[in-house]
Amino acid sequence: NFPAHNPGSSWTPGGSNNDTLVVDKRANATFVILARNSDLQSTVRSVREIEDRFNRRYRYPYVFLNEEPFTDEFKTRLSVLSSAKMEFGLIPHDHWFQPDSIDEAKAKASRDKMVEKNIIYGGSVSYRNMCRFNSGFFFRHPLMEKYRWYWRIEPDVHFHCDIHYDPFLFMEEKKKVYSFTITMYEYEATIPTLWKHVMDFAKLHPEFIAKDNSLGFMSSNNGDSYNLCHFWSNFEIADMEFWRGPAYTAFFEYLDQQGGFYYERWGDAPVHSIAAALFASRDQIQFFDDIGYEHNPYTHCPKNKDVWEKGRCSCDPARSFDYDGYSCMSKWDRFMETK
């Protein structure tokens, strides 16, 4: 028998597990996780971490998406991790698979060439489907339509610090549309013609270009060339009204018509990033320094000691990717200083 009263212990038999809901105001928001059934264990790990670090006190819902039906095992294993609502959705065929308008012979020739050149995922069609889906379709999924804000999470990522406030409400109250934790250079070989198409689109649609945009972060010559800096989109907290709005809708449509998701290997990261940089003002893009985040092989860890302590962070600030030569963070800082 447990002692009925044990003043020396902070452990209360049958007592609180500290999952007390701390909020009275919430955003219209959801987590979104694209995963395969084979990603089960790594998806469990990611959800366990975001629950520990944030969501056990906020209870935002989850939407899991897959181009194949999720197994019962997947749903059961995920469902026990949170008291928040979880929905498991199937991606409509046309939102995922290579469209008939793509010339498969031409696409295959390009894939073969990328394999020869050892470009990561160069030979993969499914990776291209994923990038196109994340660029133009996840926010149109029926399960996503009811939400305005989303937080993208991937299998096998890590959240290194306690999050003591609601980043969704922060975004909403500060009128932000897009946020990031890591920014870096893209592999040029995956997007050889992307920038040219972006500039063609910008000339066709000057009405979509935001007044105080972030072109200066991505180009030092007013758009003649792209420095390859982009926000790493495996972490995103953003406003789907931005993706659903007229500028991005026309932009994605235009890029999709060029076929570069298949004839090249355009990533959703540069596509989202360039859109945020051009169609939003710089003040609408948020760098979340206090969200310690890791996606192999890089980690963002808060540099400020108070922030790091308050977050009980499990990452090493000295090894934050911000200081890596491959990071675009110093460029972003300098860009934000030059108003």
Residues noted as catalytic: 236
30 binds ligand GDP (CB under 6 A): no
Q: Which residues pair with 150 in a beta bridge?
A: 30, 238
> Going by C-beta distance under 8 Å and a sequence separation of 6 or more, which residues neighbour residue 287?
179, 180, 181, 332
Report yes or no: 34 and 138 within 8 Å, Cβ to Cβ.
yes
Cross-strand pairs, 153:
33
51 binds, among Mn ion, ligand GDP, none (CB under 5 to 8 A by kind): none
Please, which residue, 56 or 128, has the CB nearer to ligand GDP? 128
String of DSSP letters for 263-282: HS---HHHHHHHHHHHHS-G
In the Cβ-directed half-sphere of 169, how many Cα atoms lie within 13 Å? 11
289 near ligand GDP (CB under 6 A): no
Residue 241: how many other CB atoms lie within 10 Å: 12
**275 in contact with ligand GDP (CB under 6 A):** no
Among the listed residues 234, 284, 299, 327, the single contact to ligand GDP using CB under 6 A: 234
Cis omega (within 30 of 0) for bond into 297: yes
126 binding ligand GDP? (CB under 6 A): yes
Torsion sign, CA atoms 41, 129, 68, 78:
positive
Residue least distant from Mn ion (Cβ): 154
How far apart are CB 245 and ligand GDP at their closest, in Å? 24
Among Mn ion, ligand GDP, none, residue 162 binds (CB under 5-8 Å by kind):
none
Window of 30-38, 82-90, 175-183, 278-286 that interacts with ligand GDP by CB under 6 A: 30-38
d(CA 139, CA 145): 7
Segment near ligand GDP (CB under 6 A), from 8-16, 29-37, 50-58, 211-219?
29-37
Taking the least distance from each CB to ligand GDP, the nearer of 51 and 186 is 186
Identity of the residue, 43 or 234, whose beta carbon is nearer to Mn ion in the bound complex: 234
Do 321 and 299 touch, CB atoms closer than 8 A? yes
Residues in contact with ligand GDP by the rule CB under 6 A = 34-36, 39, 66-67, 126, 130, 154-155, 234
Residues in contact with Mn ion by the rule CB under 5 A = 154, 234
